[in-house]
């Protein structure tokens, strides 16, 4: 196993934070690599050392968070809906800048939302088979799409409203609703 250079990790984090901050200030199309490097306090060549362009940076940023959510999903699925949902909403709160930016940015939102929705639907599809027949006679795809869109919609509203309730509270309510559906 290779040792990770902490300077590289810090540099990548600074670059990722820079693009998110810039996306909150102006359109993604207007952001340049120079803007990103200035905000991250690194050379342009350093940005290019780690990313092909700003689109690659955005894709890698999205991919990183989806992968981290997948890791959480492995052990969260062993919990009841409320507890599992709380694990995720605490993650969303801790990464507020990323998720609020991705779900509100006109340029990034459609791409991120579709990837995120696909991830949520995959998770719900696995859980649907443990419903003990409560959805018998209903189309599985409709149930999954309904639950996933509701989940993402609640998350989106919670973030846009500035997280008006703590993760435990919103998770308990959403968990109760998911338990009724899935």
pLDDT tens-digit series, residues 9-52:
999 999 999 999 999 899 888 999 999 999 999 999 999 999 99
Q: Report the alpha-carbon distance of residue 14 to residue 94 in Å, rounded.
A: 16
pLDDT beyond 60 at 75: no
Domains of the chain: 1-51 (1.10.10.60), 61-181 (1.10.357)
What DSSP line would sit under 79-121, residue for residue? S-HHHHHHHHHHHHHHTHHHHHHHHH-TTTHHHHHHHHHHHHH
Q: How confident is the model over 89-118, as pLDDT tens digits?
A: 999 999 999 999 898 777 777 788 888 999
Which token pair is 20? 């998110």
The reported pLDDT for the residue numbered 74 is 64
């Amino acid at each position: 196993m290779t040792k990770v250079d902490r300077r590289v990790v810090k540099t990548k984090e600074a670059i990722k934070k820079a693009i998110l901050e810039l996306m909150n200030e102006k359109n993604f199309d207007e952001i340049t690599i120079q803007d990103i490097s200035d905000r991250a306090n690194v050379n342009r060549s350093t940005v290019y050392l780690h990313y092909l362009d700003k689109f690659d940076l955005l894709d890698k940023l999205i991919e990183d968070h989806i992968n981290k959510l997948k890791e959480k999903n492995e052990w969260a699925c062993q919990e009841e809906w409320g507890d599992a949902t709380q694990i995720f909403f605490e993650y969303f709160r801790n990464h507020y800048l990323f998720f609020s930016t991705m779900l509100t940015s006109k340029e990034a939102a459609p791409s991120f939302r579709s990837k995120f929705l696909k991830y949520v639907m995959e998770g719900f599809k696995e859980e649907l088979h443990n419903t003990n027949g409560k959805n018998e006679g209903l189309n599985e795809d409709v149930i999954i799409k309904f639950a996933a869109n509701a989940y993402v919609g609640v998350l989106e509203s919670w973030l846009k409203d500035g997280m008006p309730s703590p993760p435990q509270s919103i998770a308990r309510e959403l968990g109760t609703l998911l338990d009724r559906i899935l």
